[in-house]
Amino acid sequence: MIAESQIRQLQAAIAHQQAGRFAEAISIYKRILRETPDNFGCLYSLALIYAQQGDLRAAINMFRRAATIRPDNMEVLYNFAVALGMSGNYKEAVQSYKKVLEINPRHANARNNYATTLLQDGQLLDALHQYDELIATNPHIADAYNNRGMALQRLKRIAEALRDYDKAIELKPNYPEAYVNRGNALADLHQPDDALASYQKTVALRPDFSDAYNNIGNIHFHRGSYEEAIAAYNKGLSLQPDDAEALSMRLSAKMHLCEWSNFENERSNVASSIKRGLVTYPFIALAVSSSIEDHLRCASRFSEIRFPPSEEPVWQGEVYSHDRIRVAYVSGDFREHPIAYLMAGLFEHHDKSRFEVTAVSFSPGPDTGTTRRLKAAFEHFVDVRAKSDQEVAALMHEREIDIAVDLVGFLEGARTNIFARRAAPVQINYLGYPGTIGAKYFDYIVGDPTVIPRQDFRYYTESVVWLPDTYLATDGARSIAQSTPARRDLNLPDDGFVFCCFNQSYKINPAMFEVWMRLLREVEGSVLWLREHKAVASDNLRSEARQRGVAAERLIFAPRAPLAADHLARQRQADLFLDTLPYNAHTTATEAIWAGLPVITCMGSSFGGRVAASINRAVGMPELVTKSLPEYEALALKIAKDPALCLQLKHKLAHNRQTYPLFDTAQFTRHIEAAYERMWQTYRQGRPPASFAVKCDDQICDF
């Protein structure tokens, strides 16, 4: 029986609590609990106060004690589950919601929250089932349709998700969250205009919705409308100044436009976000940070949040037995894309007597000459655009794929969750992203001694595989136009040294541009030939040149060539390709070399900054690899002022590209097949992945 004095204390505490005087209420409840530790009312009231104040740890402790005393109290169990979910303890929250629903299966809020917690925990199919149950008994709850749409969208059932978002809006017309999700679905369906309209409706309904402004920015960014993207990111950042993703995307948009006002401060802010473990797009990190440690930290955090490992992997340790090793290449770039240009020859040269090769494709767009060539190279070409990541992983498991090779990495449209579900016994990170994915479900990364030196192995969560010569696949049969256009037809001077860089504009930064402008000032009559991007980017570079004492006319911008073969051929009219740092030319460097244009590079401190060095060494031109920007500048100046040396380099390159390994696609294929065989043997023997090197004779060397 409760003493009268204790009743008076409880009444006082409740009065304080109702009046918002929480400190006084907490003090009284704690005093009562010292006398009667199992006082349910005090425990529950304290839990509610702590939850209201945002002290989730204390709230959960009190809810747990209260639930122990009254394990069938539905109100306690429900609020306990809410607090657990808010703290990120999804597993225990799920159990508490289950108990609520056992007591009252028609508790709509509990079922909705239960389903949402399953969704947050990545249990998509279970979440979908719960939303179905909720909607079957409560067909007029807008939140239920919106949340089910999110589950469907994550399952890549986009059309169904869109119908749910539309239903949610029908039930609740002024529903900004449904509009923003609808925009996300439309973006996934490659309907950017409709997505943009939905996002704009979102901010009309809720002007402080920073994520919606960022999504508007992303639509503009991926359409190449960088000025509009920057304006949208600015609006989002005015509402949420520390949004690391928006900061990094805004900087990337500005770098695409070569808009360098406040560059160093913004670069420093993004680098600081990475160091603090905030989610930042890894590809942007490559262009703004030279720290391989930052690249690991960025990739690991991004994968942890966006692509966490599944707790129910598809492959459960089975050892397959096939006559041939089954290799699947997974990509959204089996189309007109640099990845396809590099890999086409390898696909064609695979030894079909030893390897059964499958393409798992989520590539958008119509068939072209390149896609038809790729389809002919594979034994199996499986279009999985309409399938969820779980369904794709299950499909690969059904096909008993031995080795799955991810060619996407962190490129746009990445579907890393296929690999997070462990689609195959051996999973490889190759080519799409020049760095670690930062996730343990990738067993290997393919590199070479230049791009991943031995001392850098600790910055990779994957085991490192070295190929001889270079890690980069190339196509020795790539078409190049026979005729070379005259310089005057390319707007180049008939005389004078032509420096060239056809890297994308975001790889050009103030430090590199400063070096290039000093070269132009030192070499009379020289010009710098660049790829034409946006008019704004060209204008900004001309302005930057003038600020450095170089006439804007000495920057020549090459428009997009109608055919890739024509673009390759016109590069013969340049004299020297100037590489960028910290993010090198990759495919672009192989194109220049294939055209006979020497590439001078500076060795960076990360994978992405060493690729051109790897390429040069594989074509027998190590003298064009420098170790610092002053050395790079001095060598470029020496070549530009010595016509005989420049001609000698071109003659040497013309010979080497026919005789050195860089463009020997058949030999490269044998090397990577030797690597696959070693990986396959390791898995068949039940041993964990371990780093190794493939030698020129395809023998394996353990580290």
| pLDDT number for residue 311 | 77
Going by C-alpha positions, the residue among 228, 245, 235, 176 that lies closest to residue 210 is 235
Which amino acid is it at 132?
D
pLDDT tens for residues 413-425?
A: 899 999 999 999 9
Just give the CATH number of 208-304. Answer: 1.25.40.10
| pLDDT number for residue 3 | 62
CA atoms within 13 A on the CB side of 466: 23
| pLDDT number for residue 1 | 46
Rounded to whole angstroms, the Cα distance separating 162 from 481 reads: 46
Rounded to whole angstroms, the Cα distance separating 592 from 502 reads: 9
pLDDT at 2 over 70: no
pLDDT at 300 over 50: yes
**What tokens were used for 312?**
């129910």
- Contact assessment for residue 217 and residue 229, using Cβ atoms and an 8 Å cutoff: yes
19: helix, strand or coil? coil
Rounded to whole angstroms, the Cα distance separating 75 from 93 reads: 14
Where is average pLDDT lowest: 16-20, 242-246, 536-540, 543-547? 16-20
Averaged over 218-242, what is the pLDDT?
97
pLDDT at 538 over 70: yes
* 702: confidence class by pLDDT, cuts 50, 70, 90: very high
pLDDT tens for residues 450-462?
A: 999 999 999 999 9
Judge if 208-304 and 312-476+672-703 fold alike in CATH terms: no
| Long-range interactions of 646-650: CB distance < 8 A, separation 24+ | 646/497, 646/575, 646/576, 646/598, 649/598, 649/621, 649/624, 650/596, 650/597, 650/598
pLDDT at 4 over 80: no
- The domain 312-476+672-703 is classified under which CATH number: 3.40.50.1460, 3.40.50.11380, 3.40.50.460, 3.40.50.300? 3.40.50.11380
Q: Does domain 487-663 have CATH number 3.40.50.2000?
A: yes
Residue 517's contacts (CB-CB under 8 Å, 6 or more residues apart) are 544, 545, 548, 549, 550
| pLDDT number for residue 26 | 83
Of all residues in the chain, what percent carry a pLDDT higher than 90? 85
| pLDDT number for residue 20 | 82
Buried b (16+ CB within 10 A) or exposed e, 686-702: eeebebbbbeeebeeee
- Sorted by where each begins, the domain ranges of the chain are 208-304, 312-476+672-703, 487-663
pLDDT at 578 over 90: yes
In whole angstroms, how far apart are CA 585 and each of 12, 504, 579, 659, 694? 72, 9, 6, 22, 25
Question: What are 359's strand-pairing partners?
Answer: 329, 381
The residue length of the chain stands at 703
pLDDT tens for residues 470-516?
A: 999 999 999 999 999 999 999 999 999 999 999 999 999 999 999 99
Q: How much is the CA Rg of the chain, to the nearest whole Å?
A: 30
Rounded to whole angstroms, the Cα distance separating 179 from 116 reads: 18
Of all residues in the chain, what percent carry a pLDDT higher than 70? 99
pLDDT tens for residues 169-194?
A: 999 999 999 999 999 999 988 899 99
pLDDT tens for residues 54-76?
A: 899 999 999 999 999 999 999 99
**What tokens were used for 79?**
């609020």
Average pLDDT, the chain: 94
| Long-range interactions of 157-160: CB distance < 8 A, separation 24+ | 157/388, 158/185, 158/188, 158/189, 159/189
pLDDT tens for residues 461-475?
A: 999 999 999 999 999
CA atoms within 13 A on the CB side of 358: 22
Going by C-alpha positions, the residue among 222, 214, 233 that lies closest to residue 193 is 222
- Contact assessment for residue 89 and residue 115, using Cβ atoms and an 8 Å cutoff: no
**What tokens were used for 245?**
């993703």
Rounded to whole angstroms, the Cα distance separating 386 from 410 reads: 20
- Contact assessment for residue 280 and residue 244, using Cβ atoms and an 8 Å cutoff: yes
In whole angstroms, how far apart are CA 405 and each of 66, 416, 431, 662? 51, 11, 9, 21
The 8-class DSSP code of residue 310 comes to: P
509: helix, strand or coil? coil
Rounded to whole angstroms, the Cα distance separating 71 from 431 reads: 54
Rounded to whole angstroms, the Cα distance separating 239 from 194 reads: 24
Dihedral pair phi/psi, residue 447, rounded to 5°:
-145, -155
The region, left, alpha or beta by phi > 0 then psi within -120 to 50, assigned to residue 447 is beta
